[in-house]
Structure 1
Amino acid sequence: MSRKERPPIPEPLPVPTVDAHTHLDACGATTPDLVRAALDRAVSAGIAAVITVADDMDSARWVAEAATWDARLYGAVALHPTRTEGFGDAERAELERLASTDGVVAVGETGLDYYWDYATPEAQQEAFRWHIDLAKRVGKPLMIHNREAHDDVLAILASEGPPETVMFHCFSGDVEVARRCIDAGYLLSFAGTVTFRNARELQEAARLVPDEQLLVETDAPFLTPHPFRGRPNEPYCAAYTVVGLAELRGQPVEAVAEVTRRNAERVFHLHVTEIEDAERPPEGS
């Protein structure tokens, strides 16, 4: 099978869970019909709801609209840290409006990225502080993007005072960083990287996370889980990561699916059970 083809849809999880961070527009699902098809594939693997996340202004506008198209889809809006050079008042006003809409359940992804040099650390930090304040003002969770900036991300959160809920998306730290996040009460969300064979430090971190602070995501179309690394990712592939996390943590697959769903329902105020019931065909059909 070509590396350009999506992985096969796995057997459905024994209980449904949530893809807590994906980018459906970057996956090519940009119309209502394409979004519905991607969500149908996700549901067939046991991924009952999806949070699609913006990284620039065009994406933020799209996310806020797309979140109205299907009951299984929610959104998060922010300006990605690599795009914050020249972040001005007009963008801030529009993001505040979009973040206040009903289908948007989080402010994200925001944070710091010192791997790329598209925006200076100073611009990223100023924007990060603004997004922290925005999350507190609109009363929604904060989704953190953190790449090679662990100390500064945690220091800024501490100095600004974090919102009630902070999620580290695609957690990339080691055991020491995980402990600091756990002690601060933050949620850690794991993507397909936790299944990679060379990700030993990340796997050790994943074993530490208490059930009540654990989430799962795809970050699609990136970071497709093992053994399909390098192939296009999509929300249904979160099922592979749930299985991998269960093996790492020595827990039943249904337990990991259950706690990650319950955590997503709790912190993002989702209604996954109702969605699952609504999608189930009538008896005898």
Structure 2
Amino acid sequence: MCTHDVPRPYRPEELTDIGGARPGAFAGAPAPLPVPVYDNHTHFDFGDSPVELRAALDAAEAVGVAGAVQVGCDLASSRFTVAAVDADPRLLGAVAIHPNDAPELALAGTLDDALAEIDAMAAHPRIRAIGETGLDYFRTGEAGLAAQHHSFRAHLDMAKQRELALQIHCRDAHTDVLATLDEVGAPSRLVFHCFSGDAELAKICNEKGWFMSFSGTLTFKNAHNLRAALAVADPALILVETDAPFLTPHPFRGRPNASYMLPYTVQCMAQLMGLDLSEMGHLLRTNTGSVYGSWSD
């Protein structure tokens, strides 16, 4: 999830004072997970209350979140991502132009140049995914859809050419995302970031071998469709993420989200799936490794 009303991403030289979250007090830390897992999607460069990167990762590690995938949404945040994965071995990265940024770049005549720079950044060995990319019909009007589709297809090609995973952002556009994937072909590892579909989409993901990454929205009281999707999802295809600083899990909505909050969502998933936390942790670690490889490489 990306918005336009956040501060600029920090420059590489500011890595000692980065991170951030929405205004408000951070919630207390959850009990540590018995088996460490990874935050599959977060944005350390967004927010209004700067926090130190290593301190944020230390806080996450203390509750059993061993590392994270830092995700870029535009050129600035993707450059930040490359610097961040060099700064701390607990991070892997993903780089992309967010679908809501593509129309602005197209209007300025710089979209293809931006995509070329993203492709160059994707050559970094600790960049393991292209994302977040996709389609978003909620924030972009009809005039910007052509640019979104052009950008999405370019990112799909990058992921396939570089043999990287693809993280999809999809909002109010599931039909067209699926149609595009059917038309041009999906990369070998594809993730629906912050999965927002229903049981029917989960069944399609099962058939295609696509991963579904669940966020704190799973814990929301009105998340009936998400819980129905998790109930039918192939356990070998589920992941977990924060999308921090957004989507703070219940009962802490309205407070900043962060990677150390991930155990609240893991606990919810385990309860819904009838697994103990150790079983849940081993499952999520295995699935995360299948998508992104090893953090130690």
TM-score by length of 2: 0.87
Give 1:72's match in structure 2, choosing from 70, 90, 108: 90
Give 1:193's match in structure 2, choosing from 200, 207, 217: 217
CA contact (8 A) 2:97 2:115 kept: no
Give 2:46's match in structure 1, choosing from 26, 32, 43: 26
Sequence identity (%):
43
Give 1:213's match in structure 2, choosing from 219, 237, 247: 237
1:9-20 to structure 2, matched below 5 A, reads 9-20=29-40
In the alignment, what sits opposite 1:90? Answer: 113
Deviations 1:118-156 (A, max 9, x none): 672211111100000000111100000011111110110
Instruction: Quote the Cα distance in structure 2 between the aligned partners of 1:157 and 1:185.
Output: 13
Instruction: Quote the Cα distance in structure 2 between the aligned partners of 1:45 and 1:81.
Output: 33
In the alignment, what sits opposite 1:176? Answer: 200
Deviation at 1:249, TM superposition (A): 1.3
SS at the partner of 2:135? strand
In the alignment, what sits opposite 2:69? Answer: 51
Aligned residues: 270
Deviation at 1:28, TM superposition (A): 6.2
Tell me the C-alpha RMSD between the 2 structures.
1.8
In the alignment, what sits opposite 1:238? Answer: 262
Give 2:189's match in structure 1, choosing from 165, 187, 202: 165
Instruction: Quote the Cα distance in structure 2 between the aligned partners of 1:53 and 1:34.
Output: 17
Instruction: Quote the Cα distance in structure 2 between the aligned partners of 1:236 and 1:27.
Output: 16
CA contact (8 A) 2:43 2:244 kept: yes
Deviation at 1:27, TM superposition (A): 4.3
CA contact (8 A) 1:29 1:38 kept: no
In the alignment, what sits opposite 1:227? Answer: 251
In the alignment, what sits opposite 1:108? Answer: 131
Give the residue type in structure 2 aligned to 1:107.
I
Deviation at 1:43, TM superposition (A): 0.4
Residues 1:210 and 1:239: Cα distance change in structure 2 (over 3 Å): same
Instruction: Quote the Cα distance in structure 2 between the aligned partners of 1:230 and 1:256.
Output: 27
Residues 1:100 and 1:91: Cα distance change in structure 2 (over 3 Å): same
Structure 2's unaligned 5+ residue stretches are: 1-22
SS at the partner of 2:45? coil
Instruction: Quote the Cα distance in structure 2 between the aligned partners of 1:146 and 1:123.
Output: 15
Instruction: Quote the Cα distance in structure 2 between the aligned partners of 1:237 and 1:254.
Output: 17
TM-score by length of 1: 0.91
Structure 1's unaligned 5+ residue stretches are: 276-285
Instruction: Quote the Cα distance in structure 1 between the aligned partners of 2:258 and 2:164.
Output: 25
Instruction: Quote the Cα distance in structure 2 between the aligned partners of 1:29 and 1:160.
Output: 41
SS at the partner of 2:183? helix
- 2:26 maps to 1:6: yes
Residues 1:29 and 1:53: Cα distance change in structure 2 (over 3 Å): farther
Give 1:148's match in structure 2, choosing from 154, 162, 172: 172
Deviations 1:199-246 (A, max 9, x none): 111111012112210100000000000110111000111111000111
In the alignment, what sits opposite 1:283? Answer: none
SS at the partner of 1:67? helix
Deviation at 1:97, TM superposition (A): 0.7
CA contact (8 A) 1:81 1:110 kept: yes
